[in-house]
Chains A and B, each alone.
Chain A
């Protein structure tokens, strides 16, 4: 199920759930020490194994065959990491039609199995990732140690090598000034809260990513359960804060103004769009505005700069993009 075209559980607050398993092969050094031919070999091996499973139907993409707009667009949709988009030589991607499964070959690790689901769906996303892992593990010899678990290029990922994350829209908690306290609290529980594009990314549109930090000494199931229960608590707090927030008439005014700008602007930058949609999303979840939540999500995802370029098949100037973006928003909200 495509994450930005469906609402999912708690879809007013949780935009997506992602689960990532990192795996490495014993017979190769880690990716920083691989040449182009070795990277290709690994991609082909994984492809051959997964092709034997008729239910998966993954598209094999040689990353160097894509235009730079197409590559960055995949990162904008969170299907690959920004780092993976920067160096495409010898790297490949296995992607399902629904974009719910994406397997990066030779990113930071040889194999990174990623599943993305709409809304809060940790168990389902984990199960799907596990299914792929099970197909691969029967044919490959994984780098594994009984004490250190799955071995990864960066020691921060060893153990289960599982990173599960939920993308949360938390405008009310942010407005309340609760985010710093919240990130300190989750850190004590072995989780991190940061910008939506992961490591090093800034927070925009009140979108945060909550993920597990510790991977050694905690089982996959326990990590998923822990993350799920903390996410549920944050969701409950955000709901409470939103209910109070819309009693504030100034905030209510901002929601309506944001909606007004979206419906009538001639030009919209992507940052402006994300910030305006942040208000509108609160209006929707609180029953003030009647727009499907998934429509807002789709707009923020598909109207990002590189994705717009990739769709139009040419490199647009920023002004051209801003005009096209506002035009699409007006059409969708009409």
Chain B
């Protein structure tokens, strides 16, 4: 099995983590494990959280086919910037990249719905609604057309599979 991070070396470090009762597994080579902070006695407790967050993005395919239009209108941050730094650019990015961020958020927290304190007023509340399956498919079809145009067939095939999966679920 190849390392999930560099996809070049043989994975020899296998990390299991359980958050809120949900188990995830990572398979890494020793140098990636070290650079991601997994080599320590305290395994995942001592390395910093932004890099932990970046490491949650297993699917590097999310980055392929990214264009200028995929930048946040408010701060200009791209999804790649978020992955690289582990930091989100502004509150609007959460709205802009919601569907891409959501799986990682789920993996980190185990949940995706806030429970707790709510501020009394938000002058311009950022409303983030999850897209419906139809909307998602529409977005993906546009993206697939773009990928074919740029002869990025690998990406196009990945999107086709994703669409299939979405359609299959409904």
Find B45's partner among A138, A183, A220 (CB 8 Å cutoff).
A183
Bound: A187/B87 CA distance, A: 23
Find A142's partner among B18, B42, B122 (CB 8 Å cutoff).
B122
* Given the contacts A146-B114, A148-B114, A180-B41, A216 and B121 also touching, CB distance less than 8 Å: no
Query: What are 19 A-B contacts defined by CB distance under 8 Å?
Result: A29-B75, A30-B88, A30-B91, A137-B121, A145-B94, A145-B128, A147-B128, A148-B105, A149-B114, A150-B114, A159-B109, A159-B116, A160-B117, A187-B19, A192-B45, A193-B45, A201-B46, A203-B42, A216-B108
Contacts of B124 in A (CB 8 A): 26, 141
Chain A nearest CB from B109 CB (Å) reads 4
The answer to whether the Cβ of A247 comes within 8 Å of any Cβ in the partner chain is: no
Q: List the A residue with the shortest CB-CB distance to B130.
A: A147
Among residues 15 to 66 in chain B, which have CB atoms less than 8 Å away from a CB atom of chain A?
17-21, 37, 41-42, 44-50, 52-53
Residues of B within 8 A of A (CB): 17-21, 37, 41-42, 44-50, 52-53, 74-75, 77, 85-91, 94-95, 101, 104-105, 108-128, 130
Query: Which of B49, B74, B104 has most A Cβ within 10 Å?
Result: B49
* Given the contacts A141-B121, A156-B49, A217 and B113 also touching, CB distance less than 8 Å: yes
Chain A nearest CB from B49 CB (Å) reads 5
The answer to whether the Cβ of A115 comes within 8 Å of any Cβ in the partner chain is: no
The answer to whether the Cβ of A11 comes within 8 Å of any Cβ in the partner chain is: no
Query: Which of B50, B86, B109, B111 has most A Cβ within 10 Å?
Result: B109
Bound: A24/B92 CA distance, A: 12
Find B91's partner among A26, A159, A199 (CB 8 Å cutoff).
A26
Contact: A32 with B85, CB < 8 Å? yes
Since A143-B126, A219-B116 are in contact, a sample of 6 more A-B pairs with Cβ atoms closer than 8 Å, ordered by chain A residue number, is A29-B74, A141-B123, A154-B49, A199-B49, A214-B20, A214-B108
Contact bitstring A116-151, B, C-beta under 8 A = 1, else 0: 000000000000000001000110011111111111
Bound: A144/B118 CA distance, A: 8
Query: Which of B48, B86, B115 has most A Cβ within 10 Å?
Result: B115
Contacts of B113 in A (CB 8 A): 147, 216-217
Contacts of A183 in B (CB 8 A): 42, 45
Chain B nearest CB from A139 CB (Å) reads 10
The answer to whether the Cβ of A188 comes within 8 Å of any Cβ in the partner chain is: yes
Contact: B45 with A155, CB < 8 Å? no
Find B20's partner among A147, A155, A190 (CB 8 Å cutoff).
A190
* Given the contacts A26-B123, A187-B18, A220 and B46 also touching, CB distance less than 8 Å: no
Chain B nearest CB from A101 CB (Å) reads 19
Bound: A135/B17 CA distance, A: 39
Bound: A24/B111 CA distance, A: 21
Find B53's partner among A26, A155, A200, A218 (CB 8 Å cutoff).
A155
Contact: A216 with B112, CB < 8 Å? yes
Bound: A13/B75 CA distance, A: 46
Contact: A155 with B75, CB < 8 Å? no
Contacts of B49 in A (CB 8 A): 154, 156, 199
* Given the contacts A26-B122, A29-B89, A29-B90, A147 and B112 also touching, CB distance less than 8 Å: yes
